[in-house]
Amino acid sequence: MSCTHDATPPSRSTFLRAAAVATTAAAVPRALAAQPAQGNIDVHQHMVPPFYLDALKANGRMDDIGDDPNVLGWTPELSLTRMDNLGIQKAYITLSNPGAQLGAQSAWARLARRCNEHAADLSRSHPGRFGSFATLPMPDVQSCLKEVAYAMDVLHADGVGLLSVYGDKWLGDVSFFPLYEELNRRKAIAFVHPAVGTCCRTLIPNVGFPVIEYPIDTTRAIVSLLVGGAFARFPDIRFIFSHGGGTLPMLADRIVRQTMFRKDLTFTESPAALLKRQYYDVALSFSRPTLSAILAFAEPSHVLFGSDFPYVEMKYTTEGLRQAGLPTDQLAAIQRSNALAILPRTST
């Protein structure tokens, strides 16, 4: 007997909608207490302005964002309506994969600038509701340095947004170190969203890359930053890794054991301490087994609320986290106070 595979893998939005139904129905247990706290801080929202959709269409990259109406029809008002209904005070927005790396390299910086000015306009138009992690024209580091200065000093972005991989260069690649030196000098936040290397977009027939590759690629990026020395060399960058750090909580012990005794690597502190210093959001990562692994691995004060809207419904995260059975003080810390510690402008 033979079987055939559909050549077109499920879209990102199809996967996420199916995951939402399955997790909400089964994997997220009912909590004993805790109503959602007011004033939640969402460090993981995305903007999809019309000019960005045009750029995706022009470059044949619409498959990267899927076909969810919330994504294709995103507006700031759509986000704000959900936020108001769910008690979310402020959202920090970025581009999702594929970022500004569309078309010829000469166009990346222009697209990044337009995205950053759009995000700044949203912040001005809706005071106290939107912050931003600036889009950078990676992997063009010299252009990135110019954009960091403009985005942070002129537009007052709250940090930068990075993807886990660019082509086949993960974030630990030494070619990115000049950018990290500047981010380290600024004590900047670097929000990291998963992408997919050119190696791994179609590894398994009929399996879309969000299913496996997004969490694994986040882990690849983290390990590359650890082994490549960036975590140790640039300790003042506050990295936020989305989706609970991918598969890191489950693999952390294995990664630490495989790196700590290597004679070719020099660490200023233990690999475990370097990994625990980073920050992790809970977008799509709040079922009891997943959240238990994150909280067992990460510093409790380094776990942040993230929704991944519009790719994931906000209520999926707010309700899932509320129903995860956390103590009230720990839930409140994830929802708000942990983010306040590194994003002080949120309280103003």
pLDDT digits (tens, 9 = 90+) for 52-90: 999 999 999 998 898 999 999 999 999 999 999 999 999
Does pLDDT of 18 surpass 70? no
Is the previous residue joined to 194 through a cis bond, with omega within 30 degrees of 0?
A: no
Does pLDDT of 274 surpass 80? yes
* Helix (H) or strand (E) run with residue 119 in it: helix 105-125
Predicted pLDDT of residue 209: 76
Predicted pLDDT of residue 263: 76
Domain boundaries, given as residue ranges, for the chain? 37-347
Output the pTM of the full model. Answer: 0.88
Predicted pLDDT of residue 23: 43
Q: What percent of the chain clears pLDDT 90, i.e. is strictly above it? A: 75
- Weakest-pLDDT range from 13-27, 250-264, 266-280: 13-27
Task: Please tell me which residue, 307 or 64, carries the higher pLDDT value.
Answer: 307
Q: What are the C-alpha distances in Å from 70 to residues 78, 129, 313?
A: 8, 19, 8
**Band of pLDDT at residue 306, cut at 50, 70 and 90:** very high
Predicted pLDDT of residue 11: 54
Buried b (16+ CB within 10 A) or exposed e, 75-98: ebeebbebbeebebbbbbbbbbbb
Question: Radius of gyration over alpha carbons of the chain, in Å?
Answer: 19
Give phi and psi for 133, each to the nearest 5.
-110, 115
pLDDT tens for residues 107-158?
999 999 999 999 999 999 999 999 999 999 999 999 999 999 999 999 999 9
Predicted pLDDT of residue 36: 33
Which residues, at least 6 apart from 70, have a Cβ–Cβ distance to it below 8 Å? 78, 309, 310, 311, 313
Burial class (CB in 10 A: 0-12, 13-18, 19+), 20: middle
Q: What are the C-alpha distances in Å from 212 to residues 3, 194, 207, 313?
A: 22, 11, 8, 20
Say how far apart CA 258 and CA 244 lie, in whole Å: 21
pLDDT tens for residues 310-336?
999 999 999 999 899 999 999 999 999
**Beta-strand relationship, 279-281 and 238-241:** parallel
Q: What tokens does 128 get?
A: 């106290």
- Weakest-pLDDT range from 113-122, 254-263, 283-292: 254-263
Single-letter code of the amino acid located at 212: I
Residues in the chain: 348
Cα-Cα end-to-end distance for the chain? 65
Q: What share of residues in the chain are helix, strand, coil (percent, to 5)?
A: 50, 10, 35
Predicted pLDDT of residue 13: 54
In this structure, the number of other CB atoms found within 10 A of the CB of residue 322 comes to: 21
Q: Answer yes or no: are the C-beta atoms of 214 and 20 closer than 8 Å.
A: no
317-321: long-range contacts at Cβ-Cβ below 8 A with a sequence spacing of 24 or more? 317/282, 317/283, 317/284, 317/286, 318/36, 318/40, 318/86, 318/87, 318/88, 319/24, 319/28, 319/36, 320/23, 320/24, 320/28, 320/286, 320/287, 321/282, 321/286, 321/291
Task: Tell me the pLDDT of the chain averaged across its residues.
Answer: 88
- What are the residues facing 149 on neighbouring strands? none
- Average pLDDT on 172-187 reads 98
- Average pLDDT on 185-198 reads 94
Single-letter code of the amino acid located at 113: R
**What fold characterizes domain 37-347?**
TIM Barrel (3.20.20)
**Band of pLDDT at residue 24, cut at 50, 70 and 90:** very low
Predicted pLDDT of residue 121: 98
Predicted pLDDT of residue 44: 98
**Beta-strand relationship, 169-170 and 165-166:** antiparallel
Q: Answer yes or no: are the C-beta atoms of 136 and 144 closer than 8 Å.
A: yes
